[in-house]
Structure 1
Amino acid sequence: MSALEIRKVNKRYGSVHVLKEIDLSIESGEFLILVGPSGCGKSTLMNAIAGLDEISDGSIHIGGRDVTHVGPKDRDIAMVFQSYALYPSMNVAENIAFGLEMRGVDKARRAQEVARVAKLLQIDHLLERKPAALSGGQRQRVAMGRALARQPQIYLFDEPLSNLDAKLRVEMRTEIKKLHQRLGTTIVYVTHDQIEAMTLANRIAVMKDGVLQQFATPQQIYDEPVNMFVAGFMGSPAMNFIRTRVVRAGSHYGVSVRNGAGRDVVLPLPERGNGLSAWVDREVVLGLRPEQITHVTPHRLERPLVTELPCTVEVAEPTGPDTLILIRMNDQEVAARIEPHAQAPVGSPMPLAFDMSKAVLFDPATQQRCH
């Protein structure tokens, strides 16, 4: 039995079609992340799951029960909001216990649950404090504690870390990951941050303009994006998109590229048995992630599908553990990721290794993946 099933869900506000035929299913204990740019429909879908927004058609099932027309309080869900939504007049313990009190749970049981989640979230020393005396991270822990005290079938997190500073966001992300690993709870989590999505999820649903673009594991989405939107949205820095042509090289296939110095070379394509012959001499978009273009070392060049090509360093952006450099190929800027010690001076040539083992091709007309 699936913990959550969303079947052909549509949501319209008048003539505006916000959610379009959404189909999703997750099992008990999974961590699902809904990700996409602002306005893609992810928060609307979250509100539909919570019962805060009525869907136009389709159905929503939680734990095998059709809850499409069931009110939020009867859906057996708990929600953590972006804004924390804590009661300022109540202390931490009272905020955590409030939902239980509203459901008629007796005082002894409430105290037991408050102690359990406070210890779990390491906020047991804050139970007497009011929200105004807490940091942003502590307030978010209290909001999570209030949800965890409920022990529902599904926890819904609506961009819970977006109000925190960068360092605290990373720390809280780790805490949420640990919490999920310890409790094995079912979580649906909305974010626009693809790093959060890659880090936390068992599976990711990538959305754009109300349409589910891809639903898969983080690694599948990263390595096997179904279209250029997913490929460009997931990954930082974004995937390089290089307009080129498919050519035949003996019994194999490749793509023709020209470096900034005007040298032409054929980069080999992995054999995936999906009809590359139909694309020979046709324009395609080559997708290569920056880490697939890096400095040359002997062991890299020994790998199959790795080709060395001299390129000119146009811009260098040190990040500490590595350096991002911009080069030019087919008259387009292309990002490469190298180790800091390997960088050549800006404006000078540098040999780079192109690993084509995970190269993907897209149809420039439809932007769908074609190889």
Structure 2
Amino acid sequence: MSSLHIKDVNKHYGDYHALKEIDIKIDSGEFLVLVGPSGCGKSTLMNTIAGLDSISDGAILLGDKDVTHLSPKDRDIAMVFQSYALYPSMTVRRNIAFGLEMRKVPQAQIALEVDRVATMLQIDHLLDRKPAELSGGQRQRVAMGRALAREPKIYLFDEPLSNLDAKLRVEMRTEIKKLHQRLKTTIVYVTHDQIEAMTLADRIAVMKDGVLLQLASPEQIYNNPVNMFVAGFMGSPSMNFIRSYLRALNDGLAIELHNRDGERVSIPLPERGKDLSAWVNREVILGLRPEQIRQATVNSPAVFERHINNQLDVVEPTGADTLVVTQFNDQDVTARLDPESHPVSGRDFLFAVDVSKAVLFDPDNEDRIY
């Protein structure tokens, strides 16, 4: 295990600036997930860490060693690819052992390592099969086993689950989580799947257009996004963005909403020590997670909550929850409801809108202001 410092890294392809001043420190044993849309630079960054691609300037430090100009084989890094990258003519046993054989590890030690990782990944009964005889999940386990047999300083996973079906993705995600908890290895993991990121990571790095937008724990990313891109990218369904107005209310501030019939409510905002006086009577973007819009109860609304009636446009049962689409401030809004509330499309429904965890954004630059 080792720490990793991606220090002020830039990458240019001609005039195209693929990575822009990326600076991330990863502690030994930490699980960092790089997320972002296609083309954001996350795979490019992964390749520069592995040494498969050079950087234009900056440095890659593995522990206290500068590996910026070392070849991939000299970095002591193992990589698990999206495509598995298994040798089709070799058995599972040989695929796992191959990297150790190239390093001239004694055969007796290789045999022990292969048995160890095969047992850990529950593929010991597959050791004499070839990749063509395996399912996608089994091939991915073999690819992981080949990396684990080496015991390098750091593991890189480049979208390893994207070729698997939904059920198998969930199972393999759990296996990777268990593996990290058991081995306490340092892992950098690339994905475009925000659920994967939320469930696996100690910290998440959100990227867009080669820029690191936010680096924080999953809870911080979800509850305290720095801008609308991060807020909308993380979370499923994504955060609702509602154009609204900030108003003065008693000694504090409130956000204003209206339903389809024009009925208006002013919902008081918690005091967070942020001076928003310059925003009073101005338009802001209200960010609300779907779970912050729910069925109203018979009780009086909480301090930072108000009840408002509105028609349901779409009802989407998902099993554990029911997602519904309605409209506030003439914009579609998704709410997460208990299935026992029995919402019906086309009918009115009494919502409780809770702004205790709401965030506000500047409508011009989309940065968070509250």
* Distance across 2 between alignment mates of 1:34 and 1:106: 36
Offset from partner CA, 1:14-52 (integer Å, 9 cap, x none): 000000000101101100000000000000000000000
What code does the residue aligned with 1:32 have?
L
Q: How does 1:194-273 map to 2 (within 5 A)?
A: 194-273=194-273
Aligned 8 A contact 2:268 2:303 in 1: no
* Distance across 2 between alignment mates of 1:363 and 1:93: 56
Aligned 8 A contact 2:301 2:352 in 1: no
Aligned 8 A contact 1:202 1:218 in 2: yes
Structure 2 partner of 1:274: 274
Deviation at 1:297, TM superposition (A): 2.2
Aligned 8 A contact 1:261 1:312 in 2: no
Aligned pair 1:137/2:155, yes or no? no
Give the 3-state SS of the residue equivalent to 1:150 in structure 2: coil
Structure 1 partner of 2:314: 315
Structure 2 partner of 1:112: 112
Which is worse superposed, 340-349 or 194-203?
340-349
Offset from partner CA, 1:234-258 (integer Å, 9 cap, x none): 0000100000111010001011111
What code does the residue aligned with 1:279 have?
W
Offset from partner CA, 1:168-199 (integer Å, 9 cap, x none): 00100000001001111000000000000001
Which is worse superposed, 14-23 or 337-346?
337-346
Structure 2 partner of 1:360: 359
What code does the residue aligned with 2:175 have?
E
Q: How does 1:277-316 map to 2 (within 5 A)?
A: 277-298=277-298, 301=300, 303-316=302-315
Offset from partner CA, 1:79-104 (integer Å, 9 cap, x none): 00000011111101110000000011
Give the 3-state SS of the residue equivalent to 1:221 in structure 2: helix
Offset from partner CA, 1:54-90 (integer Å, 9 cap, x none): 0000111011211111111111100000000111111
Structure 1 partner of 2:10: 10
Give the 3-state SS of the residue equivalent to 1:237 in structure 2: coil
The number of residues matched between the two structures is 370
Offset from partner CA, 1:108-130 (integer Å, 9 cap, x none): 01001001100110111111111
Deviation at 1:2, TM superposition (A): 6.7
Structure 1 partner of 2:327: 328
What code does the residue aligned with 2:96 have?
I
Deviation at 1:298, TM superposition (A): 4.3
What code does the residue aligned with 1:367 have?
E
Deviation at 1:345, TM superposition (A): 2.4
* Distance across 2 between alignment mates of 1:231 and 1:366: 14
Aligned 8 A contact 2:361 2:369 in 1: yes
Deviation at 1:141, TM superposition (A): 0.3
* Distance across 2 between alignment mates of 1:173 and 1:161: 8
Give the 3-state SS of the residue equivalent to 2:364 in structure 1: coil
Give the 3-state SS of the residue equivalent to 2:149 in structure 1: helix
Structure 2 partner of 1:158: 158
* Distance across 2 between alignment mates of 1:321 and 1:116: 39
What code does the residue aligned with 1:163 have?
N
Aligned 8 A contact 2:305 2:354 in 1: yes
Give the 3-state SS of the residue equivalent to 2:3 in structure 1: strand
Aligned 8 A contact 1:270 1:359 in 2: no
Deviation at 1:322, TM superposition (A): 1.2
Aligned pair 1:91/2:100, yes or no? no
Give the 3-state SS of the residue equivalent to 1:214 in structure 2: strand
Aligned pair 1:175/2:182, yes or no? no
Q: How does 1:33-112 map to 2 (within 5 A)?
A: 33-112=33-112
Distance 1:46 1:96, change over 3 A: same
* Distance across 1 between alignment mates of 2:222 and 2:95: 39
What code does the residue aligned with 1:360 have?
V
* Distance across 2 between alignment mates of 1:56 and 1:307: 53
Which is worse superposed, 15-24 or 344-353?
344-353
Can you give the 5+ residue segments of structure 1 that lack an aligned partner in the other structure?
none
Q: TM-score, normalised by structure 1?
A: 0.98
* Distance across 2 between alignment mates of 1:202 and 1:243: 33
Structure 2 partner of 1:349: 348
Deviation at 1:307, TM superposition (A): 1.3
What code does the residue aligned with 2:109 have?
R
What code does the residue aligned with 1:324 have?
L
Aligned 8 A contact 1:9 1:57 in 2: yes
Q: TM-score, normalised by structure 2?
A: 0.98
Moved over 3 A (4+): none
* Distance across 2 between alignment mates of 1:186 and 1:356: 38
Aligned 8 A contact 2:87 2:95 in 1: yes
What code does the residue aligned with 1:174 have?
T
* Distance across 2 between alignment mates of 1:255 and 1:325: 22
Aligned 8 A contact 2:246 2:254 in 1: yes
Deviation at 1:276, TM superposition (A): 1.6
CA RMSD of aligned residues (A): 1.1
Deviation at 1:310, TM superposition (A): 1.0
Aligned 8 A contact 2:265 2:306 in 1: no
* Distance across 2 between alignment mates of 1:120 and 1:303: 50
Deviation at 1:330, TM superposition (A): 0.7
Can you give the 5+ residue segments of structure 2 that lack an aligned partner in the other structure?
none
